[in-house]
Chain A
Amino acid sequence: MLSNPFAALSASVSPAIMQTYVVVMALLVVAGTLFDIIHKQSATYFFNNWRDFKDKAKRQVGGGEMASLAVRTAVVDVMASGEFCNMRRRIAHLLTMYGFVIYVVTTIMMVFAYPTAAAPAGVAALWYIGSLMVCAGGYWFWFFIRVDVAAEGYSPFRFVRADLFIVSLVLSVTFALVWAAVQATGNATWSYIFLGLYLLATTVLFGSIPWSKFSHMFFKPAAALEKRVAEANGTMSNLPPPANAPRKFGGGLKHARHY
């Protein structure tokens, strides 16, 4: 059951076509993100902001300190999704993020290194595990954590443009799993149907980058670094500094409870 689904597919679709498709998807990521940056002028805004608070800095941040801030951003804010204050949102995001990374890396490995042969057992298993992690985090977010549903009371089946990324991601991975399972049973018709749905959802996921929040995976780390540098150089986005006399006021909660 946990075998390389792309090896079985290579009997009817040549590995060159599969590899070309993966390369096209990668190019769509690059092109879509660049278009997003240029169209929304987000890079212009980011660098203007950076220059603005450098000018207003109360202390200069040296190269070594900047490197340390970059490492802390990478480890805490990116790898541990540390910016989330709500634990459920954080766990759902971690599941989806690492699941997607594992799924993409193992897909690339199987399509390029093992397109016709059985992949090492661990690689194929990781593909399934990554897909299941994306489904677990994605569906949990979609049905229970999404603010539209949890705070605004909308139906979970209300779709808006903001849902383009999460819907296409979760559907792509779900159809991938269903296609792999159906293909393993030997049912060729349904296997091709689910393969078609898988390809459609994946193309929408990577092709809709200028209109979805896909690129947040590149922007948010930059914004997180900017926030840390602003705290370090004293500008703190005009915010007051953290209170340094907590004992005077007592009665505070040990852990912040955000509703």
Chain B
Amino acid sequence: MPTFVYMTRCDGCGHCVDICPSDIMHIDTTYRRALNIEPNMCWECYSCVKACPQFAIDCRGYADFAPLGHSVRVRREEDKATISWKIKFRDGREKNFVSPIRTTPWGSIKSPADYAPPSAEAMKSQELAHEPEALKVAALPTVSRDRFKQGAI
């Protein structure tokens, strides 16, 4: 089941609209608040739930794994680089988790656009982009033809 918006908390800022990979979070034309316009296409990625600065979005999980009485809520704190989860089971148990959003500094990873485009030889090569350097090996492992004899490996 999909995400839904607590319209009393939503201020119509549009972060969920920007981030939804399914393009189903939009702004309601009556109240100017966020609205999931296609609940059956929601895959519960929680992007909008995490992105909402007002914590105004929640998700109703499918009843087979998230029965009535459950609660899964998330607090993403970008300034502390943490993401915290509170899971409430229907028998009253609560579990809290705190994880880092990332363990490398923001901006430390180059985007694809910052790399030079591949040469013609690289496009014909069997190696994928950034191989073998990205794998931190000198060369990809190979198997010689004579090792393919039965019983050799």
Contacts of B86 in A (CB 8 A): 238-240
* Cross-chain pair count, CB within 8 angstroms: 129
Q: Are B15 and A258 in contact (CB under 8 A)?
A: yes
Q: Judge whether B81 and A253 touch: CB under 8 Å.
A: yes
Secondary structure dominating the interface of A: loop
Q: Given A239-B86, A249-B80, A253-B81, verify A148-B11 contact (CB < 8 Å).
A: no
Contact B28 A239 (CB under 8 A): no
Which positions 1-58 of chain B face chain A at CB distance < 8 Å?
8-9, 11-15, 17-19, 26-32, 51, 53-55
Contact B96 A240 (CB under 8 A): yes
Contact of A241 with B80 in the complex, beta carbons under 8 Å = no
Of B17, B71, B80, B100, which is in contact with the most chain A CB atoms at under 10 Å from its CB?
B80
Which B residues between 92 and 121 are near A, CB-CB below 8 angstroms?
96-98, 100-106, 108
- Cα separation A162 to B59 with both chains bound (whole Å): 25
**Quick one: given A83-B54, A160-B29, A161-B29, are A243 and B8 in contact (CB under 8 Å)?**
no
Residue from B12, B14, B19, B82 having most chain A Cβ neighbours under 10 A: B14
List the B side residues contacting A63 at CB < 8 Å: none
* Interface 1/0 per residue, A221-259 and B, CB below 8 Å: 001000100000000011111110110111111111111
Find out whether the CB atom of B79 lies under 8 angstroms from the CB atom of A256. Answer: yes
- A253 close to B31 (CB less than 8 A): no
Chain A residues at the B interface, C-beta cutoff of 8 Å: 42, 45-46, 83-86, 89, 147-148, 150-152, 160-163, 213, 219, 223, 227, 237-243, 245-246, 248-259
Top-6 shortest CB links A-B: A252-B81, A147-B14, A240-B86, A246-B80, A160-B29, A249-B100
Known: A152-B14, A239-B86, A259-B19. 13 other contacts (CB 8 A): A83-B11, A151-B14, A152-B26, A160-B29, A223-B9, A240-B74, A240-B98, A241-B84, A242-B80, A246-B80, A249-B103, A250-B103, A258-B53
